[in-house]
C-alpha cells in the first residue's frame, strides 16, 4: 500500500508526513522546501483482533496500543506541484515520477487561504481553486504519456503497456473502455474521447482524498464548509505533530487518532502548558486532528481495503511465539486463496482449505474475505 501526499507548495505536506511517520524532514513557510521525495512508514489504525480472543498481541510490524492496531502503509511526500508541472514547470516531472506507484493520493490543501497558487505566503487565496488544478495536472500527465507514445498504440493492450508504470492494470484499462463505450481500436478515438478516457483511468488508478489542512487557523472557517462539501476532511498536521512529539517525549499519552490526550509529566514549562491547552481546545472543537482519519479513509473508504489477520484455531502465535503477529491490508473482493498467496506462495500453490478462526467454520478458496477476519490456511506439503 503506497499513499502519495500531494498538493501545491507550502500547504503542509511534509508536516503531515512528519506527523504520520515521525521522520525528521524539513518543514518551512516557503515553496519547494521539499525537493527530493520523502518516503516513510505511516500507519492505519484498526481494532486489533486480540480483543475478540482476549489475548495480547505481539506485532511483527507496526504496533498495538490498548487494542488499537497500527498497520504499516508507505507514505511518499513529494515536492509541491504547480500549474504546468506536466510540462516540467516547477519540479513537475520529478514530482510526477515519484508518484508513479501510488495506489491513492492525499491532497493536502491549505484551508487557511494563506498561500497563493504557487505556495507563496499571501493574505487570502480561495483553496477551492486548488482542487481542480491538481486533478487537471494529474490528468494531463497521463494524457501526455499516451500522446507521446501514440504511434506505439494500436490496441487496448498497448495502452495498458504504456501506463503500466503508473500502477494501472489491464483490467482497469478494459473497464474504462467498456464503461465509456469506446471503440475497441484506440486509433479511432477522438481527442475528446482520449481526454475523457484519461480522466476516468486516472480517477481509478490514483483516486484523491482531500485533507483540509491548517484548520487550526482561524481563517480556515471561511472555507471549511465548502471544502467538506467536496469530501474534504478537516485536519491540522501541525497539531498532530505536536501531540506525537509530546507523546514520544513522555510528556503526554496520546494514541494517534484519539479525541483527547492525558498529561503524564509534572514538569511542563509554561509554554508547554499553554500549547497543550490550545490543543485541548482544538480537539474539543474538531474531535481529532484529522491526520489519522485521513490515512484511514484513504485506505478503507477510498480504496475499500479490509484488514485480515492470519491465525490458527489451535494457536494464534507464529513459530516464534508471537501472538497475532501480522495484519494484512487486502483489496476489496479478495478471497481466501488470495490471502494464502499473500502469506506465502507455497500456501497459495498448495491450498487445501481455509478456516474462519472466529467461527471455526471451514471455507473454500473462493471465500470472500471480510474486514477483521482471522484466517487459518490449510495447505499440502
Ligand X SMILES: Nc1nc2c(ncn2[C@@H]2O[C@H](COP(=O)(O)OP(=O)(O)OP(=O)(O)O)[C@@H](O)[C@H]2O)c(=O)[nH]1
Task: Rank residues 127 and 311 by Cβ distance to ligand X and give the closer one.
Answer: 127
Contacts (CB under 6 A) with ligand X, residues 76-115: 79-80
- Binding-site member from 50, 116, 137, 216 for ligand X (CB under 6 A): 216
Nearest distance from C-beta of residue 264 to ligand X, angstroms: 24
Nearest distance from C-beta of residue 37 to ligand X, angstroms: 10
Question: Contact between 15 and Mg ion (CB under 5 A)?
Answer: no
Can you read off the three cell numbers belonging to residue 322? 508471537
How many residues touch ligand X under the rule CB under 6 A: the total is 24
- Binding-site member from 206, 214, 244, 342 for ligand X (CB under 6 A): 214
Q: In sequence order, what are the residues at sequence separation of 6 or more whose Cβ sits closer than 8 angstroms to the Cβ of residue 163?
A: 142, 145, 146, 173, 201, 205
28 touches, from Mg ion, ligand X, none (C-beta below 5 to 8 Å by class): ligand X
113 touches, from ligand X, Mg ion, none (C-beta below 5 to 8 Å by class): none
Nearest distance from C-beta of residue 166 to ligand X, angstroms: 22
Question: Contact between 15 and ligand X (CB under 6 A)?
Answer: yes
Contacts (CB under 6 A) with ligand X, residues 114-133: 119
Q: Give the per-residue contact string, 30-49, with Mg ion (x = CB under 5 A; - = no).
A: ---xx---------------
Task: Rank residues 56 and 274 by Cβ distance to ligand X and give the closer one.
Answer: 274
69 touches, from ligand X, Mg ion, none (C-beta below 5 to 8 Å by class): none
17 touches 40 (CB < 8 A): yes
Contacts (CB under 6 A) with ligand X, residues 233-262: 236-238
Nearest distance from C-beta of residue 250 to Mg ion, angstroms: 28
Amino acid at each position: 500500500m503506497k499513499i502519495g501526499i500531494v498538493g501545491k507548495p507550502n500547504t503542509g505536506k511534509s508536516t503531515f508526513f512528519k506527523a504520520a511517520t515521525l521522520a525528521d524532514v524539513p518543514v518551512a513557510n516557503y515553496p519547494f522546501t521539499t525537493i527530493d521525495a520523502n518516503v516513510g512508514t505511516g500507519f492505519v489504525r484498526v481494532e486489533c483482533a486480540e480483543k475478540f480472543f482476549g489475548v495480547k498481541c505481539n506485532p511483527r510490524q507496526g504496533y498495538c496500543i490498548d487494542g488499537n492496531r497500527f498497520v504499516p502503509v508507505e507514505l511518499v511526500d513529494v515536492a509541491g506541484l504547480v500549474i504546468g508541472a506536466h510540462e516540467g514547470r516547477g519540479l513537475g516531472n520529478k514530482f510526477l515520477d515519484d508518484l508513479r506507484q501510488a495506489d491513492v493520493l492525499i491532497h493536502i490543501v491549505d484551508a487557511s487561504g494563506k498561500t497563493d497558487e504557487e505556495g507563496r505566503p499571501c493574505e487570502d487565496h480561495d483553496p477551492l481553486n486548488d482542487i481542480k488544478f491538481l486533478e487537471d495536472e494529474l490528468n494531463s500527465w497521463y494524457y501526455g504519456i499516451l500522446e507521446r507514445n501514440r504511434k506505439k498504440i494500436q490496441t487496448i493492450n498497448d495502452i495498458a503497456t504504456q501506463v503500466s508504470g503508473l500502477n494501472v492494470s489491464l483490467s482497469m484499462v478494459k473497464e474504462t473502455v467498456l464503461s465509456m463505450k469506446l471503440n475497441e481500436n484506440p486509433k479511432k478515438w477522438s481527442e475528446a474521447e482520449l481526454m475523457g478516457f484519461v480522466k476516468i483511468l486516472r480517477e481509478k488508478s490514483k483516486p484523491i482524498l482531500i485533507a483540509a489542512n491548517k484548520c487550526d487557523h482561524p481563517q480556515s472557517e471561511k472555507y471549511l464548509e465548502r471544502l467538506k462539501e467536496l469530501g474534504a476532511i478537516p485536519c491540522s498536521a501541525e497539531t498532530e505533530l505536536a501531540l506525537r512529539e509530546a507523546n514520544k517525549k513522555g510528556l503526554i499519552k496520546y494514541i494517534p487518532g484519539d479525541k483527547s490526550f492525558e498529561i503524564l509529566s509534572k514538569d511542563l514549562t509554561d509554554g508547554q502548558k499553554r500549547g497543550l491547552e490550545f490543543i485541548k481546545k482544538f480537539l474539543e472543537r474538531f474531535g481529532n486532528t484529522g491526520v489519522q482519519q485521513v490515512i484511514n479513509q484513504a485506505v478503507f473508504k477510498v480504496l475499500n481495503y479490509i484488514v485480515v489477520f492470519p491465525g490458527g484455531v489451535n494457536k494464534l502465535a507464529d513459530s516464534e511465539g508471537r501472538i497475532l503477529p501480522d495484519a494484512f491490508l487486502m483489496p476489496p473482493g479478495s478471497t481466501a486463496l488470495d490471502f494464502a498467496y499473500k502469506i506465502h506462495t507455497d500456501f497459495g500453490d498448495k491450498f487445501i482449505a481455509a478456516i474462519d478462526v472466529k467461527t471455526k467454520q471451514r471455507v473454500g478458496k473462493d471465500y470472500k474475505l471480510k474486514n477483521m477476519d482471522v484466517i487459518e490456511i490449510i495447505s499440502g506439503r
